[in-house]
Homo-oligomer: A and B are copies of this chain.
Amino acid sequence: MNNPENKMETTLPTIGVFDSGFGGLTVLRALMSHLPNARFAFIGDTARLPYGSKSRRTIARYAAESAQFLVNEQGAEYLVIACNTASALALDAIQDAVPVPVLGVIEPGAESARAASRTGDVLVIATDATVQSHAYAAACRGRGLRALEKACPLLVPLVEEGWTGALPSFGNVAEASAAQAVSASPQVAVTEEVIRIYLAELTAEAAAQGMNPDSLVLGCTHYPLLRPLLERAVPAGMRVIDSAEATAEAALKLFGRQNAGKCPPSAQDPSTQVHCFATDSVEKFERLGSRFLGQPTGKVELVDLDG
C-alpha cells in the first residue's frame, strides 16, 4: 500500500500533511492549489499541542506517531510536515520513522528567501518556540543569507480570534496583494497596530546590526492569514515570503513530477479531496479550520495516537 509502484496508474497519489494543531491547514490549502490532482490526509495532533514547550525527544516521538498514522493507516505516499516546530526539531526522526519522502516547511521558506533577496539580509517572524530553535537562521546561513528572527506571540491568537479582516478567496492566497481591500473594523485596526509595533521593533534591530533586509519570511503556519495586512505594513520594496506557499512549490517539484503520469486530467471535487483528523478538540478544529483551509474542513475524525 505504501509503494506507489503497486498502485494503478489512475489512482490519485495521497499526500499526508501533519501539524501539531490546525495552522498547517494554510499549507494544505497551498498544496491543494498546486497539486489539484492529489488526495490529502491531514492530521492535527491537537491533544498534545503546543509542541513549542516540549523537549526535542518528546516532539520527535509525537511527530513520528502522526507520520506513521498517515502512512500506515491513510496510505500516504509523501509527507509534508506543516509545523515549524516539528520541522525544526524532528525532521530527521520523522524521516527515520516512515519509508516515504518527507518535506518540512523551513527549508522551502529559506530557499524562497534566497531566490527573492538581493541584499542577502532577511527578516523572519515566527512563534517563540520557532525563534528559539533558530532553525530559519541556520537554513538561511546555509544559503549565504543573514537572517534576523523575531518572536511575535500575539499574532497566532489574533488570527484565531479572526481579527484579520476579509481574506482572499480560496486558491488566491498567492495573489493576495497589498492593494486588496481589508475591512477597517476596530478589531482589524488592533491587528494592524500590533503588526506595526512588531515590524518597527524588528527593522530597528536590523538597522542597529547594520543589516539591509529586503525580504520578510512568514515562519508560522498561521501567518498566511495576515498576509494582506503584512504586505501593507512592510517597508516599500520588501518582499513577503509565505513559507506555506514556498512549501507547496517545493512539494510540486518533489512529488508532482513523480506523479505526472498518474494524475487524471480532470480536477476532482474539493470536498472529497481532503480528509482531516485530529487527536482532540474536533469541534474547534472544524469551527476555525475552514478559515485556514479556505473551504469547509468537512467532518473531522477523532483519532487516538496514545493507544
Contacts and interface: CB of A to CB of B under 8 A. Distances in A.
Interface of A: 46-47, 49-50, 53-55, 153-154, 156-158, 160-161, 186-187, 189-190, 193-194, 196-197, 280-281, 284
B280 A53 contact: yes
Contacts of A196: 186
Contacts of A186: 193, 196-197
How many copies are assembled? 2
26 contacts: A46-B53, A47-B53, A47-B54, A49-B53, A50-B50, A53-B280, A53-B281, A53-B284, A54-B280, A55-B280, A153-B157, A153-B160, A153-B161, A154-B154, A154-B157, A156-B157, A157-B157, A186-B193, A186-B196, A186-B197, A187-B197, A189-B193, A190-B190, A190-B193, A190-B194, A193-B193
- Top-10 shortest CB links A-B: A157-B157, A53-B281, A154-B157, A153-B157, A190-B193, A186-B197, A190-B194, A153-B161, A53-B280, A154-B161
A25 B47 CA distance: 26
Given A154-B161, A186-B193, A190-B197, 10 more contacts: A47-B53, A53-B280, A53-B281, A54-B280, A55-B280, A153-B160, A157-B157, A186-B197, A187-B197, A190-B194
A280 B190 CA distance: 32
A58 to B, nearest CB: 9
A154 B156 CA distance: 10
A144 to B, nearest CB: 32
A196 B47 CA distance: 33
Contacts of A284: 53
A46 to B, nearest CB: 7
A56 B15 CA distance: 35
A225 to B, nearest CB: 15
Nearest to A156: B157
A112 B48 CA distance: 36
A49 B53 CA distance: 9
Contacts of A46: 53
A157 B54 CA distance: 19
Nearest to A158: B154
